[in-house]
Amino acid sequence: MQIGDLIRRAGRQYGAAPALVDGERVVSFAEFDELTDRLGHALLARGLEPGDRVAVLLPNGIDGVVVYYALAKSGLVRVPLNARETPHELAFKIDDSQARAFVGTGQPPAPVEIVLTDIAGMIADAPAGPCDVRRDPDAPLRLAYTGGTTGTPKAVVLTTRSELAEVDNFLVDLLPNLRPDSVMLHAAPITHGSGAFFLPHLVKGAANVIVPKFSPAAFVEAAQKHRATTTFMVPTMIAMLLEDPALGDADLALERLCYGGAPIATTVLQRGIDVLGPVFTQLYGQAEAPLAITCLQPWEHTPSRLTSAGKPYTFVEVDIRSADGRSLGVDEVGEVLTRGPHTMDRYWRRPEATAETKEPDGWLHTGDIGRWDADGYLHLLDRRHDVIISGGFNVYPREVEDALLAHPAVVEAAVVGLPDEKWGERVTAAVVTRSAAEPEEIRAFCADRLAGFKRPKSVEIWSGLPTSPVGKSLRREVRDQMLAARAALAGARVNTEEDA
């Protein structure tokens, strides 16, 4: 089966019912099938061939979804770009993916052979009729860029087989009660986790409503107007929603508020349950195993389990292993590994990294450290590779450190994530300088080099950084010292208040 088969069947079965809603624009299931067919023909008519990579940079909206699935129908490989990244970061992805074409608004940040900006015009001029390029289920469908401890992004190769397996995981475990009157509200970017909810809703005849840009007020308005039953948020969005008066006495129909992509404070989660009811569902996954390693169901959000990542999906295997590869038991700490048909095929043009991450028998090293409890729930303790997750986006410390070290006054830098109720983790830097420099000056220096979510939210000037015997900065010790300093400061405040 191909992705286009699902779209065609939904077009036949649900016809004039709304499939996509963005403000006043509504696209039916039948229209969505036709639009993706026409655009698929138009893409191939520009000289693109099945297997070519196409970089896509579009705002949250219907056009982005149409482009994504026109690419699937025409056998082209999607390379989604994040509008929050800098031109330098976007150019790297275009070059690394060897994209032949760019689809978006404005000019691409790197040279490509084909630039396509008039999506509506392409559709209008294209012929009708099915666009049905059949590719091997194990051929690349899309490239999802992530990164490593070196800060060099890697593209995760996901196939048609893995995409269909992800839909299976959603329909069996995550959203088993989907029906034609269900409504998915895309408040987060469709380039990230929210986009994974599109196909499961499409195949069940449910509408997908898109909010172009998240704000609590926009979310509440759309959720009430369209009687949204499902949504996906990163913890930062949840914290913002709970603090906003717009929530107030809102009449919401939510059945599932799925969250993931970053650590969440238990205080925020418990408050969310108190305000919105038992609708929260935690998803643990990563780019290499999209949104589906374990999940914590709404009825499992008891006080004693709020720190758990839940249990494995039905069609997903999870194991915790020691450094020597031994499977571990209850309360033994080791690396989390996972296996399933939804996991990545490989890293694009990174055979050595693929060999380090994926075993020949399909087991995938997540790089996360965890343990099982006595009831079979997974508890994540840390990330082996020090990746910071802030506001739902991955931030790779080395990349931020490189930007800091480009400042003429900075000689050493260590970047860590500190707990933050709003952002999940707060990107924080410790730097050693060779001459006088103000923290805010150093932060401002990063503005042209890093996307906003990657820039340090605070910079501390240190006299020296803890290092290993070979001179490598020890981020863990930096983080521990920062946390200890904050705890001591908080204790001093308490003592002062008690003395008063």
Tell me the one-letter amino acid at 179.
R
- Look up tokens 């970017």; give the residue: 189
Q: Domain 388-499 belongs to what topology?
A: GMP Synthetase; Chain A, domain 3 (3.30.300)
Cα–Cα distance for residue pair 480/465, rounded to 1 Å: 12
- Mean pLDDT, rounded, for 173-183: 96
How sure is the predictor about 449, in pLDDT bands with cuts at 50, 70 and 90? Answer: confident
Q: Rounded to 10 degrees, what is the CA torsion of 444, 450, 456, 460?
A: -60
How sure is the predictor about 468, in pLDDT bands with cuts at 50, 70 and 90? Answer: low
Whether the Cβ atoms of residue 337 and residue 312 lie closer than 8 Å to each other: no
- The pLDDT score that the predictor gives to residue 412 is 86
In this predicted model, what pLDDT tens digit does every residue of 226-279 receive, in sequence order? 999 999 998 889 988 998 998 998 999 999 999 997 777 788 899 999 999 999
Cα–Cα distance for residue pair 161/127, rounded to 1 Å: 29
Q: Domain 3-372 belongs to what topology?
A: Rossmann fold (3.40.50)
In this predicted model, what pLDDT tens digit does every residue of 311-364 receive, in sequence order? 999 999 999 999 899 999 999 989 999 999 999 999 999 999 999 999 999 999
In this predicted model, what pLDDT tens digit does every residue of 360-379 receive, in sequence order? 999 999 999 889 999 999 99
Collapsing DSSP to helix, strand or coil, 174 comes out as: helix
Q: Please report how many Cα atoms fall inside a 13 Å half-sphere around the Cα of residue 256, on the Cβ side.
A: 25
Cα–Cα distance for residue pair 287/149, rounded to 1 Å: 15
- Mean pLDDT, rounded, for 151-172: 94
Residue 391 region by backbone torsions, left for phi larger than 0, else alpha for psi between -120 and 50, else beta: left
Cα–Cα distance for residue pair 3/14, rounded to 1 Å: 17
Listed in order, strand segments (DSSP E) in 33-135 are 53-57, 77-80, 101-104, 114-116
Domains 3-372 and 388-499 share a fold: no
* Rounded alpha-carbon distances, angstroms, from residue 448 to 96, 404, 444, 494: 21, 11, 8, 40
* Rounded alpha-carbon distances, angstroms, from residue 216 to 7, 90, 211, 240, 408: 32, 29, 11, 7, 41
Q: Which residues contact 277 (CB under 8 A, 6 or more apart)?
A: 254
pLDDT greater than 70 at residue 147: no
- Please, is 430 exposed, middle or buried when counting C-beta atoms within 10 Å of its C-beta (0-12, 13-18, 19+)? buried
Q: What share of the chain is helix, strand, coil (3-state, %, to 5)?
A: 35, 25, 40
Would you kindly state where each structural domain of the chain is located, as residue ranges?
3-372, 388-499
- The pLDDT score that the predictor gives to residue 151 is 54
- The pLDDT score that the predictor gives to residue 395 is 84
Tell me the one-letter amino acid at 226.
H
- Look up tokens 């839940």; give the residue: 310
pTM for this prediction: 0.83
- Residue 494: phi, psi to the nearest 5? -60, -45
